[in-house]
């Protein structure tokens, strides 16, 4: 694992933007895996700004998002499709037909399962994801793969935890509208990406980050599966790094690194 500890989240987002920009620049058809949530917002903002200044283009890029709620229309303000349009897709020159967010709208579980299989097949047919962005939950989840998810799982339907449903209730007028399910790439899907780039900011993430990096490889902390990934870069701010026991090792490795963070693939 490549551990990059930054003074604050703005610096972390800037390093992440440099990594994404490199994929966009260097590859003929960059395939990005994208994440939602509060963590990648400053990264998407920087990418949109760089695009606006004419410094980078998403024209050749294909994207696959990690997850989507079941039952929300793409125009629902809580849907991840809506989030992506707002924070990135509507602000850059990406071809809308090349953006993929799982379609969680069909009510029939058989159709949803078909959607999940198609999503995996589409990623595979394109040769896989080059760079997968990730956040981490305070409980160590990645995508909607909550603790105890299979570490080999593929894109599928996930039942949201009671905690997640309770947390989300504030975003919906009626409790019966709060999604109970999501479609999520599996941990196996995530591990198949060539390069995983996980961002974590704030002390709320400190325990999960320490468990993911230094804890045992365990389904209790789904992000610990990244220990088995050949190339994972984790960008943390000081607060998210505050529970790490081996900090001097990461500082030494960073100070003596060959090249800039996240550039081993080039």
Please provide residue 94's backbone torsions phi and psi, each rounded to the nearest 5 degrees: -75, 145
Smallest distance, ligand PGA to C-beta of residue 100, A: 19
Select which of 130, 141, 195, 229 is catalytic. 141
Please tell me whether residue 86 binds ligand PGA under the rule CB under 6 A. Answer: no
99 versus 184: smaller Cβ distance to ligand PGA: 184
* Beta carbon of residue 94, minimum distance to ligand PGA (angstroms, whole number): 21
Q: Which is nearer to ligand PGA, 3 or 160 (CB)?
A: 160
Query: Among residues 42, 102, 104, 135, which is the contact residue for ligand PGA, using CB under 6 A?
Result: 135
Q: Clarify whether 214 is annotated catalytic.
A: no
CA distances from 90 to 52, 58, 62, 73, 95 (A): 12, 11, 15, 17, 10
Residue 144 CB, shortest distance to ligand PGA, in Å, is 8
Query: Which residue in the set 1, 37, 126, 150 belongs to the binding site for ligand PGA (CB under 6 A)?
Result: 37
**CB nearer ligand PGA, residue 38 or residue 86:** 38
Select 135 or 156, whichever has its Cβ closest to ligand PGA: 135
Q: Which of 27, 219, 266, 262 is nearest to 129 (CA)?
A: 27
Of the residues 48, 129, 136, 208, which one makes contact with ligand PGA according to CB under 6 A: 136
Is residue 32 part of the contact set for ligand PGA (CB under 6 A)?
Answer: no
- Can 67 be counted among the known catalytic residues? yes
Residue written as token pair 């599928």: 156
Contacts of ligand PGA in 164-193 (CB under 6 A): none
Pair type for strands 181-184 and 67-69: antiparallel
- The single residue of 139, 177, 203, 265 carrying the catalytic annotation is 139
Nearest residue to 153 via CA among 199, 110, 109, 184:
184
For ligand PGA, the nearest residue by Cβ is 37
CA atoms within 13 Å, Cβ hemisphere of 142: 35
User: How deeply is 203 buried, as exposed, middle or buried, from its count of CB atoms within 10 A (0-12, 13-18, 19+)?
Assistant: middle
Tell me which residues are annotated as active site: 67, 139, 141, 146
């Amino acid at each position: 694992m490549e551990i990059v500890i930054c003074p604050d989240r703005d610096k972390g987002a800037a390093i992440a933007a440099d990594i994404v920009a490199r994929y966009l620049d260097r590859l003929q058809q960059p395939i990005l895996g994208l994440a939602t949530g509060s963590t990648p917002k400053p990264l998407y903002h920087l990418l949109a700004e760089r695009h606006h200044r004419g410094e980078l283009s998403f024209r050749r890029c294909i994207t696959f998002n990690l997850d989507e709620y079941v039952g929300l229309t793409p125009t629902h303000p809580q849907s991840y499709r809506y989030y992506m349009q707002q924070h990135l897709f509507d602000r850059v020159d990406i071809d809308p037909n090349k953006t993929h967010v799982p379609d969680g709208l069909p009510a029939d579980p058989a159709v949803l399962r078909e959607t999940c299989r198609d999503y995996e097949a589409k990623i595979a047919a394109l040769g896989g994801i080059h760079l997968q962005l990730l956040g981490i939950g305070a409980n160590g989840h990645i995508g909607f793969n909550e603790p105890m998810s299979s570490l080999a799982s593929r894109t599928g339907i996930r039942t949201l935890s009671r905690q997640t449903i309770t947390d989300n209730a504030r975003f919906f007028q009626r409790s019966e509208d709060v999604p109970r399910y999501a479609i999520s790439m599996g941990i196996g899907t995530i591990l198949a990406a060539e390069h995983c780039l996980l961002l974590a900011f704030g002390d709320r993430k400190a325990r999960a980050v320490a468990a993911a990096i230094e804890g045992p490889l365990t389904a209790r902390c789904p992000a610990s599966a990244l220990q088995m990934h050949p190339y994972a870069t984790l960008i943390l701010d000081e607060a998210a790094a505050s529970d790490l026991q081996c900090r001097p090792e990461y500082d030494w490795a960073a100070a003596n690194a060959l090249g800039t963070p996240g550039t081993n693939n080039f």
